[in-house]
Structure 1
Amino acid sequence: MSILNPHAPPQDARTAPIIVGPWPTYAHFKNLPERERWVMYSGAKAHREMLEQAGFVMSENYDDFVRRVTRELNV
């Protein structure tokens, strides 16, 4: 089942589209106030979750994603 199309059949991880990058960068937001940087971080996580729920597989594992985004946002 897809979050975008609840009637779509679930995809097998072996045949799911794989997103390999380039990954969006959040470094240009590092000078925002801390609250706004946390909002950007939450948005990045929500966007990734939406893509995964839609059946996409990321080549960047979740822990690497979190490390990269928190480093880029300086949070």
Structure 2
Amino acid sequence: MTPTPNHAQALPQRAGATIISGPWPSYAAFRDLPERERWVLYGSAKVYRAALEEQGLVMSESYDEFIKRVTAELEI
């Protein structure tokens, strides 16, 4: 189950930044893939998040929460 973001927490703000508060994509459907493919998906998820952040988007889910969620969903 994906945790619901706590919107009461202070979010980092940038002038004019768009804050993305979910719903987050779930990777749980891929947990039955071989481990190598799950690691590839994990790397892709991190690259995709970084690309969104480079465009100025701010995620309400912290990076640590993101890593914890994705690794749990992929069981890695």
Q: TM-score, normalised by structure 1?
A: 0.82
SS in 2 for 1:31: coil
Which protein is bigger by CA-based radius of gyration? 1
After TM superposition, the structure 1 = structure 2 runs for residues 1-75 of structure 1, keeping only pairs within 5 Å, are: 13-75=14-76
Q: Which runs of 4+ in 1 moved over 6 A?
A: none
- Secondary structure of the corresponding residue to residue 57 of structure 1: strand
Post-superposition shift, 1:66? 0.1
| Matched residue count | 64
Supply the distance in 2 between the matched residues of 1:20 and 1:72 (Cα, whole angstroms).
19
**Runs (5+) with no aligned partner, structure 2:** 1-12
How far apart are the structure 2 equivalents of 1:55 and 1:39? Answer: 25
Tell me the amino acid that sits aligned with residue 44 of structure 1: A
CA RMSD of aligned residues (A): 1.1
How many angstroms apart in 2 are the aligned matches of 1:15 and 1:22?
Answer: 21
What is the deviation of 1:64? 0.2
User: In structure 2, the residue corresponding to 1:25 is in which secondary structure?
Assistant: coil
Q: List runs of 5+ in structure 1 lacking aligned partners.
A: 1-11
